[in-house]
Amino acid sequence: MGRQGYSAEFRSKVLDLLAAGRSVASVAHDLDISDQTIYNWRRQDRIDRGLATGLSTAEASELAAAKKRIRELEIELAVSRRSVELLKGETSPQGGTRPSK
């Protein structure tokens, strides 16, 4: 699906460094990750703790799973509809099959 990211444990340690007073720039430089990545993690942590508005990690995961399932069901429905269309052309109104041409 997407690229593998950093582990939850690593993210937690980065957030701990920020909580200990280190700046985003210094942590990013020392760990060779982008500033924006750290800002994103910090924003998401605040959302997960209820300090900011937005989708929590659990809600985002649930939403992604629901969207995936909807796509799967839409495909199944399209296949079923196409099957019905094909079968309608193969059967007569009396319930028998039409002779092959």
For the segment 74-83, what is each residue's pLDDT rounded down to a tens digit? 999 999 999 9
Rg (CA), the chain: 26
**Do residues 97 and 91 make contact, with C-beta atoms less than 8 angstroms apart?**
yes
Q: Would you report the helix, strand and coil content of the chain in percent, each value rounded to 5?
A: 65, 0, 30
Q: Which long-range contacts (CB under 8 A, 24 or more apart) does 80-84 make?
A: none
Does this model's pTM top 0.85? no
In this predicted model, what pLDDT tens digit does every residue of 26-73 receive, in sequence order?
A: 999 999 999 999 999 999 999 999 999 999 999 999 999 999 999 999
Given this model, what pLDDT does residue 89 score? 82
CA distance 59 to 70: 16
With bands split at pLDDT 50, 70 and 90, how would you rate the model's confidence at 7?
Answer: very high
